[in-house]
Structure 1
Amino acid sequence: MRSSPSHDLNLVASHTTAAASAVSDWVARHYGLPVQQCYLIRRNLNDNYAVRATDGSRYVARLCAIRPRGAFNVDFEVALLAHLHAQGVGVVTPVLAVNGATNITLPFPEGPRALVLFRHCDGAVPDTPEELHLTGATLAQIHRAAQSYAGPASCYVLDGHHLAGRTLGYLAAHPELDPAVLDAYRQLIERLLSELANVEGTLTRVMCHGDTHGFNNHVYTDAEGVRRAAFFDFDDAGPGFLAYDLCVWLWSNLPRKAPMEPDDALLQRWHQYLAGYRAGGGHVTDADLAAVPMFLQLRHLWNMGEGVARIHHWGANLMSADWLKKQPDVMAAWARLELPRG
């Protein structure tokens, strides 16, 4: 007779991917939604699942990953989205659980994780200059409407420590990073934080979306034939700097290899993005625009930290020691960018 293996206490899960059938069951049980179809969209910072109800309505279930930075920010995110939606701003709308909770907590081998349900955001990623203009205008509307937000506070403030200070600690734990490279990062981060401290009093502060790289909003045509934009994935949102929220789209599109200068087409798209932001009622100062090269570097460091902090389940190759060694040169080139104030 074959004996059943006992549980090995040394077998520890770093990240579990739930089967779509389990997510379908949780959504039906906790949200009262009869599910027709459920499948995994992608694993990234979180695990996202497409959900279709029997009446044809579509949703996205986000199974939040445990992040080294700290607690889930769901109560703030859901309250902010409800406030923005009530103000008529284009954002995805969350769905509360049947007990009125913003999320449900599920016991995973690696620890408790939050499941949040959102209505599906129709449309496609903005691509044309006109769509980028609309994207910028909607971002301005988000910033303006969020000024009257009075709900739960964000767990995070998108300041220098959040964007770069944490990254240094994550890099120090990298298994293959040369001490000289780590020291170069230490000097870079200290310089950027000093630079930020010198100008932060002149910069516009807003409630940042935090991840406006161009793939977290869609452009669609409404029932009246009007083109509109809607933003989603506010799990990195929090109070911060306008220059940061604006720069993330540019960071996403800048070349990473020499020559690292934006071409005319990219500059034109950036101009349309800024013009749209102003058309939506947003005010951008010269100081904000002058700070964009600095925030491009801080954004790169934040993104780098998010990757390095997940080596335990993404693997070291995603943020390899060789790639990390090259990034200070990329950021040095971005620091020298002379962008049109447009």
Structure 2
Amino acid sequence: MHATQRYDPDLVTAHTTAAASSIVRWVEQHHGLAVQQCHLIRRGLNDNYALRSVDGSRYVVRLYSIRPRGDFNADFELSLLAHLDAHGVAVAVPVPTAQGRTHVELRFPEGLRAMALFRHAPGAVPDTLEDFEQTGGTLARIHMTARDYAGPPSRYTLDGSHLAEQTLAYLHTHPELDLELLNTYRQLVQGLLAELAQAKGGLSRVICHGDTHGFNNHIATNADGAKSAVFFDFDDAGPGFLAYDLCVMPWSYLTRKSLKEPDELLLERWAHYIQGYRSAGGEVTPADMAALPLFVQLRHLWNMGEALGRLHHWGTSPMPVDWLRKQVDVFAAWKALDLQTP
């Protein structure tokens, strides 16, 4: 009996990491590509694999992870990318299957997971001031071009519920969080949502990329030496506030550097980022700029929620109670952020 039983009957799978050999077989089966090489880049929010076909073309395969937020948003994301590419916006283009589908669904022990194939975005992450200006410019073109998008709707909207209320719900599931800290976060979320309710009527709305932290686009250089920014990873995209999509870049820098206020380098990059956005035709109103401190905080909450919603998969180490307690002071400091530009 033990020799023929494949799994322990008590095993409940939270997340399965597929071997690169499985990705090769699925891509060959569904996309008809002859694959030369494939390896795992990173597992986490999704599992991403680098793939090279026999003709030398480079691709990225995304195996979507099951997320607590709900069903995959792939129909919207991949249709949006096709729309942007058709209008000349530099994005990592999705490659349809041999049957013309945007993605396939595969049965894993934990449930159905979507898989999509993308063309590789060449280049490197932005580093120079010119790079950040290019990044802002392409983001503006994404926002402007997406106004005419008429494909499948997004399954979610990047609003207060998505950014903050879900995180509060996930905090309730943390096994080590005390009632006092939970109440502190409840008051924090309520205060931010009240501020958003008061401000949102005057704020610009766009289809957000949702994760424009500076590592989801590359700066590519063509044969003539001209640079351009190419965006990818639109799986957090959806309708939302312009101020939110803009704030993710400074939030990322502040978080990675553990800063409570911008340093000189961030301010320089931010000024070029906004300059690039405006130079490409993007409009940022005074109300949008004034709302940036609010959305930096909402972004921080959303990011916390992405980890808190995966306690069953990632465990408590990414969100220990001591760290959660320290963030209360970070939120308080960020209320006074000054990200105004000339």
TM superposition score category, shorter chain reference:
over 0.9
Q: Structure 1 CA distance, aligned partners of 2:256 and 2:42?
A: 24
Q: Structure 2 CA distance, aligned partners of 1:304 and 1:259?
A: 17
Letter in 1 for 2:16: T
Map 1:115-264 to 2 at 5 A: 115-254=115-254, 260-264=260-264
**Size of the alignment, in residue pairs?**
342
Report the counterpart of residue 30 of structure 2 in structure 1.
Answer: 30
Q: Structure 1 CA distance, aligned partners of 2:108 and 2:84?
A: 32
1:166-216 Cα deviation digits (max 9, x unpaired)? 001101001111111111010000010010000100000000000000000
Letter in 2 for 1:201: G
Map 1:259-270 to 2 at 5 A: 260-270=260-270
Q: Structure 1 CA distance, aligned partners of 2:267 and 2:177?
A: 35
Letter in 2 for 1:207: I
Q: Structure 2 CA distance, aligned partners of 1:31 and 1:243?
A: 38
Deviation at residue 256 of structure 1 after TM alignment: 6.8
1:154 alignment partner, SS class: coil
Q: Structure 2 CA distance, aligned partners of 1:130 and 1:89?
A: 19
Structure 2, unaligned stretches of length 5 or more? none
Letter in 2 for 1:99: Q
Report the counterpart of residue 52 of structure 1 in structure 2.
Answer: 52
Report if the CA contact (8 A) 1:106-1:114 is conserved: yes
Structure 1 residues 35 and 2, CA, compared in 2 at 3 Å: closer, same or farther? same
Q: Structure 2 CA distance, aligned partners of 1:81 and 1:30?
A: 20
Q: Structure 2 CA distance, aligned partners of 1:341 and 1:221?
A: 28
1:176 alignment partner, SS class: coil
Letter in 2 for 1:50: A
TM-score, structure 2 normalization = 0.97
Residue 113 (str. 1) matches residue 118 (str. 2):
no
Letter in 2 for 1:48: N
Residue 9 (str. 1) matches residue 9 (str. 2):
yes
Report the counterpart of residue 289 of structure 1 in structure 2.
Answer: 289
1:78-98 Cα deviation digits (max 9, x unpaired)? 110011011111111000011
Report if the CA contact (8 A) 1:255-1:261 is conserved: no
Q: Structure 2 CA distance, aligned partners of 1:83 and 1:339?
A: 32
Structure 1, unaligned stretches of length 5 or more? none
Structure 1 residues 259 and 132, CA, compared in 2 at 3 Å: closer, same or farther? closer
Structure 1 residues 259 and 113, CA, compared in 2 at 3 Å: closer, same or farther? closer
2:118 alignment partner, SS class: strand
Q: Structure 2 CA distance, aligned partners of 1:104 and 1:169?
A: 31
Report if the CA contact (8 A) 1:140-1:281 is conserved: yes
Structure 1 residues 223 and 208, CA, compared in 2 at 3 Å: closer, same or farther? same
Letter in 1 for 2:237: A
Q: Structure 2 CA distance, aligned partners of 1:276 and 1:5?
A: 60
Structure 1 residues 10 and 289, CA, compared in 2 at 3 Å: closer, same or farther? same
Report the counterpart of residue 301 of structure 1 in structure 2.
Answer: 301
Map 1:80-99 to 2 at 5 A: 80-99=80-99
Deviation at residue 255 of structure 1 after TM alignment: 5.1
Q: Structure 2 CA distance, aligned partners of 1:250 and 1:259?
A: 10
TM-score, structure 1 normalization = 0.97
2:239 alignment partner, SS class: strand
Report if the CA contact (8 A) 1:256-1:330 is conserved: no
Letter in 2 for 1:336: A
Deviation at residue 265 of structure 1 after TM alignment: 1.7
